[in-house]
Amino acid sequence: MKRFKPQSLKKPTVAIILAAGRSTRMITDKPKVLHEVSGRPMLAFVIDACRNVGIENLYIVVGYGKDQVIEEFKDVPNITWVYQAEQKGTGHAVLCCREHLDDFDGNCVVLCGDGPLVRTETLKELIDKHNQEHSYATLATAILEDPTGYGRIIRDAYGNLQGIVEQSDCSPRQRAIKEVNPSYYCFDMQTLFWALDQIKPDNVKKEYYLTDALHIIIQSGKKAIAITAVPPEDVLSINSRHQLAQVSKVMQTRVQQELMSKGVTIVDPSNTWVDARAQIGKDTIIHPFTYIHGNVKIGKNCSIGPFAYLRDGTVLDNDVVLGVFIEVKNSHFGTGTRARHHSYIGDAHIGKDVNIGAGTIFANYDGKEIHNSKVGDKTFVGSGSILIAPITVEPNAHISPGSVVDSNGFKSLNDNHIENTEKAQSDE
């Protein structure tokens, strides 16, 4: 994702992110904004888009499940959590921030927490235009083939913005309008509060609509503009599980395209899933049916899959090969280490040039606790071995196929289980 210097913000700019809604259509007990898209809660993408355009101070309006949301983002700095006890509409949600921003002389970007596809570039264009045009209210709009469900942008015969009408309040003629409101706004903060003081819930849903503030600002003679700056695919916000899946698909394509643009080969993108947090080095090849979930770091020139499952905390140095049906969790692999077939490696620190034979299992859990393993450089682990953690295997060890090894050196299933490990230990 591109970063833009904060200097591009001429006036001090804050952001308000609306995330208080319960989302009845999701059929969920979990706050909507915590549902994950490419491995991250959807709200995280909106926060990142603001930060990447240089906005430091964020005001996030929470309501349903607020404690869970706050807990999830407790390590993110400069967030003021604003509680909206009752969800009376998007306009009311913004007004809940007033006690924190009543003295703030600057711009305010308003976004919704359920729109993770928002791009930094679009926000930059929105803010730049707002400043260049000395506007009091600026929106970024999109043209959709099927505008169903969205607020429609009303313009006069000259193209000047007149307001937004919600789908449920549209006349049949307004319904035909294809220019919609994705809910990306930039306002002069005090003008917005002034306008919101005047909105009334006289609409089909009996809610205080943020969109009504525009009409009031325009009526008062202050400049308000709409720029058609949002690519159609970005507009989709998440109100249902179906839309969650659709947005996830768009996001997954973005994640993979970003990796490919940095020199990663993804052999079959539609049959590969990569977490938005994953980092992958150039010339690494990801083979089909690979699932990379969580904070995973893969070096250069590695080969992953087909059918590999890499989980949170996996770190691979360069030239690592993970082949068919390999599951790796919270483990570090040194340069040139290989595990080509059918293995589980969990909570292990594995050195360089180690060969992990087919069907090797790291038994990291004893039924009560998780334990760590360490395997030294250039070790050979024979096929079908079980390493019972906690265990340390010294460098250059040779573990025979079919061995069951624990911290006492070995448990035998056969007679020739392990050689150099014992020797290395007795050398100490």
Footprint of ligand UD1 (CB under 6 A): 18-21, 61, 84, 87-90, 92-93, 112-114, 150-151, 164, 166, 180-183, 209-211, 237, 239
Number of residues that bind Ca ion (CB under 5 A): 2
Q: How far is the CB of 111 from ligand UD1 (least distance, A)?
A: 9
Distance from C-alpha of 113 to C-alpha of 239, rounded to nearest angstrom: 11
Quick note: the x/- pattern for Ca ion over 238-267, rule CB under 5 A, is -x----------------------------
Q: How far is the CB of 114 from Ca ion (least distance, A)?
A: 5
According to the binding rule CB under 5 A, does residue 237 interact with Ca ion?
yes
Quick note: the x/- pattern for Ca ion over 368-397, rule CB under 5 A, is ------------------------------
- Residue 242 phi/psi, 5-degree rounding, is -65, -45
Judged by beta carbon, residue 243 or residue 392, the one nearer ligand UD1 is: 243
Judged by beta carbon, residue 239 or residue 279, the one nearer Ca ion is: 239
Q: How far is the CB of 28 from ligand UD1 (least distance, A)?
A: 13
Q: How far is the CB of 45 from ligand UD1 (least distance, A)?
A: 13
Judged by beta carbon, residue 240 or residue 412, the one nearer Ca ion is: 240
In the region spanning residues 143 to 172, those forming contacts with Ca ion, defined by CB under 5 A, are none
3-state SS class at 266: strand
Residue 182: is the preceding peptide bond cis (ω within 30°)?
Answer: no
Q: How far is the CB of 242 from ligand UD1 (least distance, A)?
A: 15
| Closest by CA position to 67, among listed 100, 111, 20 | 20
Distance from C-alpha of 160 to C-alpha of 24, rounded to nearest angstrom: 36
Judged by beta carbon, residue 180 or residue 348, the one nearer ligand UD1 is: 180
Q: Which residues are catalytic?
A: 341
- First-residue to last-residue Cα distance in the chain: 50
Q: How far is the CB of 124 from ligand UD1 (least distance, A)?
A: 20
Chain residue whose CB lies nearest Ca ion? 237
Q: Which CB contacts under 8 angstroms, 24+ apart, belong to 266-274?
A: 272/305, 274/38
Which does residue 18 bind out of Ca ion, ligand UD1, none, counting CB within 5 to 8 angstroms by kind? ligand UD1
Q: Which 8-state DSSP code applies to residue 204?
A: T
- List, in order, residues 6 or more apart from 408 with CB less than 8 Å away: none
Judged by beta carbon, residue 180 or residue 388, the one nearer ligand UD1 is: 180
- Residue 387 phi/psi, 5-degree rounding, is -105, 115
3-state SS class at 53: coil
Q: Encoding tokens for residue 312? A: 């949170």
**b/e burial code for range 159-196 (CB count within 10 A of at least 16 → b):** eebebbbbeebbeeeeeebebbbbbbbbbbbbbbbbbb
Judged by beta carbon, residue 139 or residue 386, the one nearer Ca ion is: 139
Cβ neighbours of 295 (radius 10 Å): 15
Which does residue 150 bind out of Ca ion, ligand UD1, none, counting CB within 5 to 8 angstroms by kind? ligand UD1
Quick note: the x/- pattern for Ca ion over 173-192, rule CB under 5 A, is --------------------
Residues that bind Ca ion (CB under 5 A): 237, 239
